[in-house]
Amino acid sequence: MAREQIMNVADSKHDDCGACPIRHRAVCARCNEDERDVLDDMKYYRSYEAGQTVVWSGDRMDFVASVVSGIASLTQTMEDGRTQMVGLLLPSDFVGRPGREHAPYDVVATTDLVMCCFRKKPFEVMMAETPHIAHRLLEMTLDELDAAREWMLLLGRKTAREKIASLIAIIARRDASLHLSGPEGAMAFDLPLTRVAMADYLGLTLETVSRQISALRKDEIILLEGKRHVTIPNFQKLLDEAGDDSDGGMLN
Amino acid sequence: MAREQIMNVADSKHDDCGACPIRHRAVCARCNEDERDVLDDMKYYRSYEAGQTVVWSGDRMDFVASVVSGIASLTQTMEDGRTQMVGLLLPSDFVGRPGREHAPYDVVATTDLVMCCFRKKPFEVMMAETPHIAHRLLEMTLDELDAAREWMLLLGRKTAREKIASLIAIIARRDASLHLSGPEGAMAFDLPLTRVAMADYLGLTLETVSRQISALRKDEIILLEGKRHVTIPNFQKLLDEAGDDSDGGMLN
DNA sequence: TTTCGTTATTGATCTCGATCAAAGTGACCA
DNA sequence: TGGTCACTTTGATCGAGATCAATAACGAAA
């Protein structure tokens, strides 16, 4: 990890709070200047282009990180090339495990990506000294575990159509919560994933993904402009297609 | 939760350490008597018969718990009855989330089961005061997240035969680590799951599970005595069938 | 503008696992 | 001893999604 590759972003008082959950919620929220100094010393930003691999499975990983902007995905690959996405990291999501030496999955930039990295050793020390951080991290990990379990239902039991509808609903909801838009009328956004990435997410082939998206469009569950821009005229209808009960993945 | 249903197990000095990871690793290991007293006050044991439901999805859940003996499973069900197991809890595994009101999944006793329960409020207080517990819990949650991600690869990309082989390998390994047996020669154990439970775990039907088990037996990857007792003559062969690279699910 | 390369769509066919159906096994009890 | 019930195995057939193949859309570079 050459020093020159590290991009230090201007660090005026609180301008990165929204992007960096560890700092924002565990430390910065309390505005403890000592802790801020420790953080400033041990963190750095890196950016990646869409398609770049952040870490390869099995590589030594001497940092933990959180996503500032863009989307990263965790991917597992079998020897014969079959691949399954096992995690989708959106802004504020965390990756890396204190106490672990090597990455267990490929981490890939799905879109252009900025990550906020913390060198692992000092991060571990800080975590031991700052209970807030351990609690916040536990909180985030439990959220991820819930998401993973929702995803397991999708992979194990849903039809291709339901899978696609579920994925679009997840993206729509995440997008809506980022933009703090009003109650659910029409929603519109760009799909941040290629058909191949969707297929890897859903345990399908890209052809099936394409066919099912076409089918949902024909049935006017979604509207497509170009290949990526989606409008959802009726969110409830989409949820019905997804086969989710109730709120479909929102945590209590 | 009637008082009479609560089974208080004899609590001589350290006899439950092996069964109760929270106490064992976070508190009891330090032999801090004050903390022991707090725990003794807030914990209780419950037992369930195979098939009994511990909590229903959506129910209020005012405790967290860890498995002392037996196997519990976390299960999600869609309105039309399709069900997917999303977690398999073996002795020392933890269930429940501090700060959550309602259970997001059904928790079912897959075999006869004893759980060690902690009332949630006092547990949360203790967690806030005892950093060791939060760290230990984070550790366990991260392990579960890793297991869930391994499972996602299985659900999304593996064939029926690979799924069965993977499941048997997981059970064999867990069993071996419990009994601290020597290096991997022949292994023998009872399957703790019915065919239906395996199907729910693997995202298959019970017929397919049965057929694939028969096939593995015919190919002498496994030996079957009765319907449940399995012997694995060559563990590496089983791993090859499972399609796992390297150690197939062991962490780091 | 043409050309190239990436990404997406659509069609034809095949296959693995689901579904429907029947029979086998073994524990428990009257 | 036979009957019942839960669980499992095996067979026959079907269908959703995979696979193989061709074409389309679109942006970037020349």
Cβ atoms of A141 and B142 within 8 Å: the answer is yes
Q: Average model confidence (pLDDT) for chain B?
A: 81
In this complex, is the C-beta atom of A99 within 8 Å of any C-beta atom belonging to chain B? yes
pLDDT of residue A176: 78
Q: B28: which residues sit within 8 A by CB, 6+ positions away?
A: B14, B17, B36
Quick: pLDDT tens for A44-77.
889 999 999 999 999 999 999 999 889 999 999 9
A149 neighbourhood in chain B, CB within 8 Å: 74, 76, 86-87, 104-105, 148
pLDDT range class, residue B232, cuts 50, 70, 90: very high
pLDDT of residue A143: 93
Predicted confidence (pLDDT) at residue A36 exceeds the cutoff of 90 = no
pLDDT range class, residue B203, cuts 50, 70, 90: very high
Task: Considering only the beta carbons, identify the residue of B134, B157, B252 that sits closest to A135.
Answer: B134
pLDDT of residue A41: 65
pLDDT of residue B224: 94
pTM of the predicted structure, to 2 decimals? 0.86
Q: Which residue, B86, B79, B81, B90, is CA-closest to B106?
A: B86
Distance B232 CA to D12 C1' (A): 32
Cβ atoms of A102 and A60 within 8 Å: the answer is yes
Predicted confidence (pLDDT) at residue B192 exceeds the cutoff of 50 = yes
Q: B210: which residues sit within 8 A by CB, 6+ positions away?
A: B195
Distance A1 CA to C3 C1' (A): 39
Mean pLDDT of the region B16-30: 41
Give the integer Cα–Cα distance in Å for A17 and B37. 41
Mean pLDDT of the region A27-36: 42
Predicted confidence (pLDDT) at residue A184 exceeds the cutoff of 80 = no
The listed range with the strongest mean pLDDT (A236-245, B67-76, B201-210) is B201-210
pLDDT of residue A232: 95
Which chain A residue has the Cα nearest residue B97? A142
pLDDT range class, residue A1, cuts 50, 70, 90: very low
Q: What's the ipTM?
A: 0.86
pLDDT range class, residue A187, cuts 50, 70, 90: confident
Both tokens of B230, joined, read 């399995």
Nucleotide nearest to A228 (CA to C1'): C8
Question: B155 and A100: CB-CB below 8 Å?
Answer: no
CB pairs under 8 A between A and B: 114
Give the integer Cα–Cα distance in Å for A210 and A106. 25
Nucleic acid strand C within 7 Å of A53 CB? no
CATH architecture of A3-152: Sandwich (2.60)
Mutation site for B-interface testing, chosen from A80, A94, A139, A152 by largest number of B Cβ within 10 Å:
A152
Q: Which of A15-29, A220-234, B39-53, B181-195 is predicted with the least confidence, judged by mean pLDDT?
A: A15-29
Q: Which of A172-186, B71-85, B208-222 is predicted with the least confidence, judged by mean pLDDT?
A: A172-186
User: Would you list the domain boundaries of chain B?
Assistant: 3-152, 158-242
Domain B158-242 has CATH 1.10.10.10: yes
pLDDT of residue A109: 94
pLDDT of residue A181: 57
Predicted confidence (pLDDT) at residue A4 exceeds the cutoff of 80 = no
Q: Which residue, A124, A151, A119, A140, is CA-closest to A41?
A: A119
Could you tell me which CATH number the domain at A159-242 has? 1.10.10.10
Give the integer Cα–Cα distance in Å for B117 and B147. 23
pLDDT of residue A225: 92
Same topology between domain B3-152 and domain B158-242: no
Q: Which residue, B164, B145, B144, is CA-closest to B154?
A: B164
Helix, strand, coil content of chain B in percent (nearest 5): 45, 20, 35
pLDDT of residue B184: 53
Give the integer Cα–Cα distance in Å for B126 and A46. 38
Quick: pLDDT tens for B42-95.
788 899 999 999 999 999 999 999 998 899 999 999 999 999 999 999 888 899
Strands in A63-69's sheet, in edge-to-edge order, are A43-48, A113-119, A63-69, A94-95
Q: In DSSP terms, which residues pair with A189 in a beta bridge?
A: A230
For residue B47, CA distances in Å to B6, B93, B114, B117, B224 come to: 8, 15, 4, 10, 30
Give the integer Cα–Cα distance in Å for B233 and B188. 9
Question: A245 and B79: CB-CB below 8 Å?
Answer: yes
Predicted confidence (pLDDT) at residue B133 exceeds the cutoff of 50 = yes
